[in-house]
Amino acid sequence: MPDAVKFGFGPFAAPARGVLVVFCGEGVKFGSAAAKALGPAAALVARAAKTESFTGKAASVLELIVPAGMKADRLLVIGAGKAADLKPTDFLKFGGVAMGKLPKSATEATILADLPDGAMGGEQAALLAQGASLRAYTFDRYKTRKKDEDKPAAGRSITIATGDVAGARKSYAAHMAVAGGVLMARDLVNEPANVLYPEEFARRTAVLRKAGVAVEVLDAKALKKLGMGALLAVGQGSRRESRVVVMRWNGGKKGAAPVAFIGKGVCFDTGGISIKPAAGMEDMKGDMAGAACVVGLMQALAARKAKVNAVGLIGLVENMPDGNAVRPGDIVTSMSGQTVEVINTDAEGRLVLGDVIWYAAQRFKPQMMIDLATLTGAIIVALGQEYAGLFSNDDRLSERLTKAGEATGEKVWRMPLAPEYDKMIDSKFADMKNTGGSRWGGAITAAQFIKRFVDDKTPWAHLDIAGTGFDSRQSDINRSWGSGWGVRLLDRLVADHYEK
């Protein structure tokens, strides 16, 4: 984790130095703890607010340098808006906003977790810390010419002053375990494909063992033996061998059926023989964002000792054009025994997922399965970068995911599945073909394809994260290209419905 910031919690007090962050409501109203910390500087704040037309609107910031009458070198007043409107995601955002406003040179900051109508709870204080840590992440390991003034000061520490130190510390432990998973996912997504090819990706999952996750790597020979002809067809044009990684976290009741998470891990997607146009192709190093999310999630669940049995499986391949590459028209046999006519070698993700999902179901008999994949450009056309596409055979699971999305800000929008779309992937020569033949409804026909590898008795959801996995517009809690999208969503889903 680069530029790690240390977080601590303490009782309400005005800091003797560094940066002080306080919150105010609409009309620049302060709670008692903040008012006390401001002391005589409150008049200064009122004047500055007027001059700046700062009204305390949610996430707006008023900044005062060397405020007279205070020991702090810098004061940040963050608007919290109307107290009644505040949701958990707002506290995350406030933490991100505060972090974003800290000067790079600042080594010490104190955030006062206080609102006009009373102190924030411990959970809310912990969310401030999580938001700040997500915002602090940068991916700059390949920047050799960083200027000193661009580098954050070493040993930055942030104290969150709260009315519930014990409660905040307790929530914080879980939130930071999850943040660690998000940052791990971002690191994987940001890494270029010359560095992160299937074998290297598989190697990097070994760190999960430290948290108590059993990690098993299946090499190409093992995959061949299992009959994963669809997955292997995608990787056959690459100099890099394909891999499947199986991660197991057993925090639940012995023998209880696990929840399963399956990720698309196309380390680079050129499109293969159906090669993509050059413009923007570099983004396809992120075509493993689904797999990155599964790894980050397994890390998060283990680090916070989630009371659940969970398995994570990722299919790692590289899709390249080559003399040995799979061709349009080729027919491959999947592990399920179903044959697939490859119409377009750029529709490779579904070939990978079909085999890994089938394998996960056979081996683990999960109580529920969720796959994540940067699967189609069509889902970006439909939903942009705000919502991921949700496809499911189960209303209850869909409902749960939708709620978890609202709670975490990683939102999903349910899309249809129907026999009319399923018909579109029937093939003249094989059991199915890997595209619907038309660009219309492209995200849906892709989901229908995956559905053919799922038995209808297992609740299953497919999340098309092509729009959200990377290159999301910069948010208050992420400034990096890779988003780590889905880790917080699925951790939440597990915490709310599948633990104990």
Structure tokens at 208: 């999960």
Closest approach, Cβ 253 to Mn ion, in A, equals 40
Per CB under 6 A, the list member of 312, 315, 349, 354 interacting with ligand BES is 349
Task: Give yes or no for residue 466 binding ligand BES (CB under 6 A).
Answer: yes
Q: Which is nearer to Zn ion, 82 or 439 (CB)?
A: 439
> DSSP 3-state assignment of 110?
strand
Per CB under 5 A, the list member of 241, 346, 422, 471 interacting with Mn ion is 346
Task: Give yes or no for residue 344 binding ligand BES (CB under 6 A).
Answer: yes
Q: Catalytic residue at 414?
A: no
Q: Which residue is nearest to Zn ion (CB)?
A: 269
The burial class, CB within 10 Å (0-12 / 13-18 / 19+), for 85 is exposed
Task: Give yes or no for residue 347 binding ligand BES (CB under 6 A).
Answer: yes
Pairing between β-strand 61-65 and β-strand 157-161 as defined by DSSP bridges? unpaired
Task: Give yes or no for residue 377 binding ligand BES (CB under 6 A).
Answer: yes
Structure tokens at 479: 């400034």
Q: Which of 204, 276, 403, 414 is catalytic?
A: 276
Which of the choices Zn ion, Mn ion, ligand BES, none does residue 191 contact, using the CB cut-off of 5 to 8 A by kind? none
Task: Give yes or no for residue 442 binding ligand BES (CB under 6 A).
Answer: yes
Q: Within 265-294, which residues bind ligand BES (CB under 6 A)?
A: 269, 287
Closest approach, Cβ 424 to ligand BES, in A, equals 11
DSSP letters spanning 44-62: HHHHHHHHHT----TT-EE
d(CA 292, CA 481): 13
Pairing between β-strand 118-119 and β-strand 114-115 as defined by DSSP bridges? antiparallel
Q: Which residue is nearest to Mn ion (CB)?
A: 346
Which range in 104-112, 194-202, 371-379, 410-418 contacts ligand BES by CB under 6 A?
Answer: 371-379
Task: Give yes or no for residue 376 binding ligand BES (CB under 6 A).
Answer: yes
Closest approach, Cβ 360 to Mn ion, in A, equals 22
Q: Which is nearer to ligand BES, 164 or 269 (CB)?
A: 269
CB atoms within 10 A of CB 282: 11
Closest approach, Cβ 245 to ligand BES, in A, equals 20
Residue with tokens 């006390």: 36
Closest approach, Cβ 377 to ligand BES, in A, equals 3
d(CA 470, CA 95): 22
DSSP E strand stretches across 328-439: 331-333, 339-341, 368-373, 387-392, 411-414, 432-433
DSSP letters spanning 240-298: SPPEEEEEEEE-SSTTPPPEEEEEEEEEEE--TTSPPPSTTGGGGGGTTHHHHHHHHHH
Q: Catalytic residue at 350?
A: yes
* Interface positions with ligand BES (CB under 6 A): 269, 287, 344, 346-349, 374-378, 435, 442, 466
